[in-house]
């Protein structure tokens, strides 16, 4: 019986270790995401880091994978490839947010994506909701890098009013 319990504990710890090893480094993911807007190489690296993730993976990482898919559309030549990347990315982002509605970083990612997409794609319906969510929850963000990224992006956004910008800078 002792051997069985030991074996069970061992197998569970190995499974947890393997699962933890498959989670990419958030600092590197954020850096590549920021660079992806202007670097095709960074965009490709970001997507490659997240390729092995599936819909059951950590919602934040799934959301980053969705954003990475959408960024691929910027660098694709074919309109069919662009639309395919957009659709894959949208599915991943919406799946991740549905699994964690209060994920501040995921709402920030969706806001950055939706505010940069052409209107004809019809993926702009959550801009105002995400902006209000971010403004409301900003005070509880403990991650200084994330908080600074949100403040910087919102401050420069055409979707924020002057009054909202002043509250951000306070």
Q: What is the pLDDT of residues 36-60, one digit of tens each?
A: 999 999 999 999 999 999 999 999 9
User: What span, in angstroms and rounded, lies between the C-alpha atoms of 67 and 46?
Assistant: 10
108 and 75 part of one domain: no
Is residue 19 in a domain? no
Inform me whether the pLDDT recorded for 77 exceeds 70. yes
For 135-160, the pLDDT digits (tens) are 999 999 999 999 999 999 999 999 99
Is residue 7 in a domain? no
Instruction: Please check whether residue 53 is in contact with residue 61, taking contact to mean a CB–CB distance below 8 angstroms.
Output: yes
Instruction: Please check whether residue 116 is in contact with residue 153, taking contact to mean a CB–CB distance below 8 angstroms.
Output: no
Which pair of structure tokens corresponds to residue 2? 């002792």
Q: Write out the residue range of the structural domain in which residue 46 sits.
A: 25-100
User: What span, in angstroms and rounded, lies between the C-alpha atoms of 129 and 64?
Assistant: 19
Instruction: Please check whether residue 95 is in contact with residue 62, taking contact to mean a CB–CB distance below 8 angstroms.
Output: yes
User: What span, in angstroms and rounded, lies between the C-alpha atoms of 36 and 67?
Assistant: 10
Give the distance from CA 61 to its chain's centroid: 6
47 and 61 part of one domain: yes
Is residue 76 in a domain? yes
108 and 91 part of one domain: no
């Amino acid at each position: 019986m002792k051997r069985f319990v030991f074996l069970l504990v061992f197998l569970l710890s190995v499974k947890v270790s393997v699962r933890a090893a498959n989670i990419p480094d958030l600092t590197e993911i954020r850096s590549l995401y920021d660079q992806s807007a202007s670097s095709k190489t960074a965009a490709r690296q970001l997507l490659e880091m997240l390729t092995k993730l599936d819909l059951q993976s950590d919602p934040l990482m799934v959301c980053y994978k969705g954003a990475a898919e959408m960024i691929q559309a910027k660098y694709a030549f074919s309109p069919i490839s662009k639309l395919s990347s957009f659709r894959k990315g949208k599915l991943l982002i919406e799946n991740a947010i549905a699994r964690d509605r209060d994920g501040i970083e995921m709402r920030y990612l969706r806001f950055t994506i939706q505010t940069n997409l052409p209107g004809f794609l019809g993926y702009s319906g959550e801009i105002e909701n995400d902006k209000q969510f971010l403004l409301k929850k900003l005070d509880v963000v403990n991650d200084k890098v994330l908080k600074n990224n949100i403040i910087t992006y919102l401050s420069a956004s055409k979707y924020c009013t002057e009054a909202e910008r002043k509250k951000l800078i306070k």
